[in-house]
Each structure stands twice: as structure tokens, then as C-alpha cells.
Amino acid sequence: MAKKAKIKETVGIDIGTHSIKLVHLKVLHDGFKLLDYEVRSTIPAGMEYATSNLRPERFAPVLSGMLSSLKINPKKIKHLVSSIGGDDISIKQIKTIFLPDEELESALFFEAKKHLPINGSDMILDYQVLSIEEKTNNMNILLAASTKQKMREHSDILMSTGCVPGIVDVEPLGVANSFIFNTFVEEGVYILLNIGAQRTNMVIYGPNAKFFSRDVPWGGYHFTKDVMTHYEDFTFEKAEEYKLEHGLKKDSKEKEISLLDITEKKTEEELALEIRRSLRFYVKEAGNSDFRKIYIMGGSAKLKGLPEYLEAQLKIPTEIFNPFTNLEMPEKFRDKQDPQLALALGLAMRLG
């Protein structure tokens, strides 16, 4: 508690493929108060984009503008938590024999090379001891790794805005933290889907369950491309507008997009298929199939019909995640509880 009292305000920054999400919280004695937030695209409105064409230099000017509009002086931020994700991060729960602290880190570096697909010389490793089993004295450890280049690129973005990089988390842990801080659960396993522009980060978490995470290569961009496949005269911008208005549901004048007879699977079908495969793998690895609920968050979480579709396909109750449950909210924010802020809030709520 002493450590918590020292931190008066906290900033969480989620730098995504398509947009940056920033939240500014005040730390209270028993929780947090939302001071302000902003979501800003890093891509010009209406532009069709591919990740291969996007340059990392676009992030810093956008982030600088956000800090300015929120009246946050980057040099005065005392507690900043940001995140990295994508192909250059890896996370895995492992079990190992008990080792004292002074031996653990070096031993885990060699262990990580067996489990995580990142070249050892380029690896940055962090870990957390989750539990020590009484009978066997084995340790359950969560390993997280990234590359030095990824960390340099991320730090460069922050420093070019005047921010001093603070805690840098991996996205799956930020997603899990958002869930932990805003949901009370005692048992069971929960599936968290952070649906971004180009990919969906899937996290499987439970208080007593094995941690699992993987990226699924389907996101909001692919839903928009589905609309363009059907309506060949639609620009990317018009398809984006149509998607936001109609989602997966029927338009009174058109067939339901999801049921169109085309050879390729629709994005929602691909997404459900990948989730189902991951759940099968998890059951085999963890021996646990006590799936209680799917929570969807991220920029495409509000796509009309998506929760219902996933629930019907996967036979698991599905709902949009509310990351504002345990926040004190000023009145002006009460009708703007956006699920795409889940990761940024999970980062900002991490105090240690």
C-alpha cells in the first residue's frame, strides 16, 4: 500500500496499428478516477492501408498532439505504462524446479530459448513467479520476451514526444490486467479477445488456470475488406461506414453479409475457427475446459452482431467487456465507455 500512495496519477498508452489510445487516471485510496482519455487514428481518414506500408514515424506526432490536447506535460508524467505486441513478443507459462532468486534469472534465460521463438542474442526477457507448488516445490513461472529492436523502436516513439519510458508491458498482460481489475471471478477460465485493426490478441485467463496467449491474424480491417468484396463499387471509406452502421446484421435492403455465397470464408468465420483451434490446444495443454465466458474488447468489439455470432459458433456466453467497472467516472464520460480503451486502462492500472 505504501508504494501505491506515492503514485498520484498514472498514464496508460496503447499504441495500436491503426490508432493510439491514451488514458489519464488519478490514483485513489481504493481505486482510480478517470481524469481524461483520447483515441486518435494514426492513419488519414478513409485511407486503405496495409501494415507493410505503415511507417513507425507516424506515431510520435499523433501522440504529441494527444498529450497537448489533454494538457499533459510529457516531462511531468511520473508513472507511465505502455505496451508492445505483435510478432516480436512472446509469452508462455512454464514449470521449473525451485531455484533461489540469484540463480533464477540466468536459468530462465536458457529456459526461455527452448520455449520462446526469439533469437537468444536479441532477446529481452522478463518473468513473474506465479506460484510454488507445496508438494513438488516446482515453480510456475510466466515468461515474457521481446526483441531489443522492438524495445528500441517503442522507446524512440515515447522519447520523441518528450516522455520518459516507464513500465513497458506486453499486450496480453495488459489485457489480463484490465480484466483482473474490473471483474471479480473466483474460478473458471475466461477468454479475452482484444480485436484490433489487423489482428486479434487472444488471452485465456483464470485465477487458478494456466495462462495462454496468441495472436489471430484477423481484425477490423478484414471486416471492412469483406464489405468491399461484396460491394465492388465501395471505396474503403464507404465500406468502413457501412460496417459501422450494419455490422454483421441484415440491412433491410440487402442480404446478410455473413451468409453471402462466396468461396472465401468471411472474417467472422475465420476468427471463430482460430479461436476454436486455440481452445482445443489449450484443453490439451492445460487439461482445463471450464470456459465460463468470452469477453470482447478493442476497436471492433462494438461490431453489431459479433458477440451473438461468436456465442452461437463457440457455444460460450459472449459479451462486450466494460473496462470502466471499477473506475470513478466524471459525468461527462458516463455514456462514452468505449471497450477499445481496455488495454490502455489495464496498463494505467498497473502500479508496480
The count of structural domains within the chain is 2
pLDDT at 186: 83
Biggest CA–CA distance in the chain, Å, is: 68
The alpha carbon torsion through 127, 130, 136, 137 (nearest 10 deg) reads 70
Report DSSP letters for 11-25, one per residue.
EEEEE-SSEEEEEEE
Amino acid at 145: A
- The percentage of the chain sitting over the pLDDT mark of 90, rounded to a whole number, equals 63
Model confidence pLDDT, tens digit, residues 285-334: 999 999 999 999 999 999 999 999 999 999 999 999 999 988 999 888 87
Residues 164, 247, single domain; the answer is no
- Reported as type and span, the H/E element at residue 281 is helix 267-286
In a domain, 274, yes or no: yes
Q: Are residues 316 and 194 in the same domain?
A: yes
Q: Is residue 173 part of a domain?
A: yes
Q: pLDDT at position 152, please?
A: 93
> For residue 59, is it within any domain?
yes
For the cut 60, the answer to whether the pLDDT of residue 237 exceeds it is yes
352 shares its domain with 222: no
> Are residues 60 and 162 both part of a single domain?
yes
* Within a domain: 1: yes
Same domain, 76 and 168: yes
The answer to whether residue 126 is domain-embedded is no
Residue 95 domain-assigned (yes or no): no
Domain presence at residue 346:
yes
The pLDDT, as a whole number, for residue 16 is: 92
Q: Band of the pLDDT at 259, cuts 50, 70, 90?
A: very low
Q: Which domain holds residue 207?
A: 184-322
Average pLDDT, the chain: 89
pLDDT band at 261 (very low <50, low <70, confident <90, very high): very low
- Considering the domain architecture, whether residues 246 and 350 belong to the same structural domain is answered as no
Size of the chain in residues: 352
Q: What is the mean pLDDT of residues 228-236?
A: 91
Q: Could you report the per-residue pLDDT of 74-124, keeping only the tens digit for each?
A: 999 999 999 999 888 989 898 888 888 888 888 888 888 877 777 767 889
- CATH number for the domain that contains residue 224: 3.30.420.40
- Among 70-74, 108-112, 158-162, the range scoring the smallest mean pLDDT is 108-112
Higher pLDDT, 49 or 120: 49
